[in-house]
Structure 1
Amino acid sequence: MFRHVVLFTWSEEATEEQRARVATEFGKLPEAITEIRSYTLGPDAGVSPGNHQFAIVADFDSADDFIVYRDHPLHQAAIAEYIKPIVASRAAVQFEV
């Protein structure tokens, strides 16, 4: 299995509506991208200071399937429309599980 983990911190200007929209729109991707095996996302629980504010953990059968997801037009459109306007920082890693 191949895992992708991405963490976001939002800009100070990001509204609650924009933040919620990220979860809603990215939550639709597993229905549209069949290569996704598992997809978990959500805001930070707020119990430790200094954390990123939002995380996505996605599992795939292979690195090739991750690349399909990474480059998929719906994923790229969601990034452009919902992430880029409000992101302050991003961290990501992919690894074999």
Structure 2
Amino acid sequence: MFRHIVLFTWAEGTTDEQRAAVATELGRLPEIIPEIRAYTLGTDAGVNPGNHEFALIADFDGVDDYLVYRDHPAHQAVIAEHIKPILASRAAIQYTVGG
């Protein structure tokens, strides 16, 4: 299995509606992109200061399926329309699970 993890921090002034739209639009991707095997989204619980504000974990059968997701027009549209306009910082990693 191949895993993709991304963490976001939103720009100052980001509204609750904008945050919710990111989660909603990302949450639709598993219905659109069949290569996604598992997909988890979440907002930081606010327990520790300095954390990122939102996380996504996506699992794929392999690198090729991840690349389909990465480059998929629906995914790219969510990034362009909902994430980039409110993004302050992003951290990401991809790795092989169990390997």
Task: Report the TM-score, using the length of structure 1 for normalisation.
Answer: 0.99
C-alpha deviation, 1:59, in angstroms:
0.1
Structure-1 residue corresponding to 2:13 = 13
How far does the alpha carbon of each residue in 1:15-64 deviate from its partner, in whole angstroms, 9 at most, with x for none? 01000110001000000000000000011011111100000000000000
Structure 2 counterpart SS, 1:41: strand
Count how many residue pairs are aligned between Structure 1 and Structure 2.
97
Runs of 4+ residues over 4 Å off in structure 1: none
Mapped partners of 2:45, 2:64: distance in 1: 32
Mapped partners of 2:73, 2:51: distance in 1: 30
Structure-2 residue corresponding to 1:43 = 43
Q: How does 1:1-97 map to 2 (within 5 A)?
A: 1-97=1-97
Counterpart amino acid of 1:62? G
Structure 2 counterpart SS, 1:84: helix
**Can you give the 5+ residue segments of structure 1 that lack an aligned partner in the other structure?**
none
Structure 2 counterpart SS, 1:49: coil
Task: Report the TM-score, using the length of structure 2 for normalisation.
Answer: 0.97
**Can you give the 5+ residue segments of structure 2 that lack an aligned partner in the other structure?**
none
CA-atom RMSD in angstroms: 0.4
